[in-house]
Amino acid sequence: MVTQTRKLTEGAMMVALVGLMLFVNLQLGGMPEALMYWILTFPILIYTAKYGIRNGLIAAFSTTLLSFMISSPTTIFYLFSCNVCGLFYGEGVRKKWKNGVLYMGTAVFTFLSYLVTTFFLASLFGYDPKEDIEMISQLLSLFHIGQDLDLAKLTGMIILVSTILLSAMQALCIHLFAHVLLMRLHIETRKIKTIFEIHLPSYAGLLIFFIWVLYFMRNVIKLNQEVLGILVFLYGIAKVTAIFYGVISLCYALLLSKQKKFVFLVLLAAFVPYVQMAIGCIGILDMFIDLKDIYLQIWKRGVIRGSSGEF
């Protein structure tokens, strides 16, 4: 009886919390919704992680009914997508799924949400994809980028990539904040790997290297416009991935050698045109031979700054 009463009480508190958030959003003219609507995910996420999917569904249904009373159609959709994401993540925590599964599932649900709001219900949410495509096309033309390409297709790819990246970043925010909240509430969850423990497989480095080679030989092999547009799109993703991974590798080496003051310089160097290519090459090399593990072995042997190993 005490357990059932506790479930009902905490469920009512979660519904009330969501109602308060919706009311504040209404009073502020939808500004919180536009900036970070994903915070609506956490009440249902925590409740589901603690009491299971069945109880979570009841709380989610209650919050959805409440949203029909005090929210606009756009807020109702955002709340629905957050509830779905919270139910998935909370049940995954309860079932002890791997963090990778939780993150990827959250990213997929988030991407589908952005896909609906950006393309299928664009007019309802105040978006105009045609205006975005025209604006990006003008920007690319201004910087003389992609003059030999179909700018409409290229900008469409840019919008799609932007949506994917935004979904990935939002899923990361949900994942990290959820982990902190669950730990604070003493709900058992898997430990999250640090950014330095992430290692991409060697075939990812081989694929990135292959894309780079094709891109720099694009004038030699004479690709048609459609293939060239796809190649430019893939090159941008490969370049950002390699540079990001190279920055992680260099920062890890600096932190091991206790040279934290140079970390900021590495971050700045990632934006310098020719230097960033060298950083990208380091990132690809790290994918092949795991440089971070080599740094760690060198540090353990004490040969970074002398045989004594004292820093």
Chain segment 159-175, per-residue pLDDT in tens: 777 778 788 888 888 88
pLDDT exceeds 80 at position 285: yes
Please say whether the beta carbons of 21 and 71 come within 8 A: no
Question: pLDDT tier at 90 (50, 70, 90 boundaries)?
Answer: very high
DSSP E strand boundaries for the chain: none
- Spell 16-54 as b/e; 16+ CB within 10 A means b: ebbbebbeebeeeebebbeeebbbbbbbbbbbbbbbeee
Question: pLDDT tier at 248 (50, 70, 90 boundaries)?
Answer: confident
Q: What pLDDT, on the 0 to 100 scale, is given for residue 190?
A: 81
Q: Alpha-carbon distance 211 to 86, whole Å?
A: 37
pLDDT in tens, 106-155: 999 988 888 887 776 666 666 666 666 666 666 666 655 555 555 566 66
Q: Alpha-carbon distance 70 to 101, whole Å?
A: 34
Q: Alpha-carbon distance 132 to 256, whole Å?
A: 44
Look up residue 25 and give its two tokens.
């959003």
Alpha carbons within 13 angstroms on the beta-carbon side of residue 202 total 4
CA-derived radius of gyration, the chain: 24
Q: What pLDDT, on the 0 to 100 scale, is given for residue 308?
A: 41
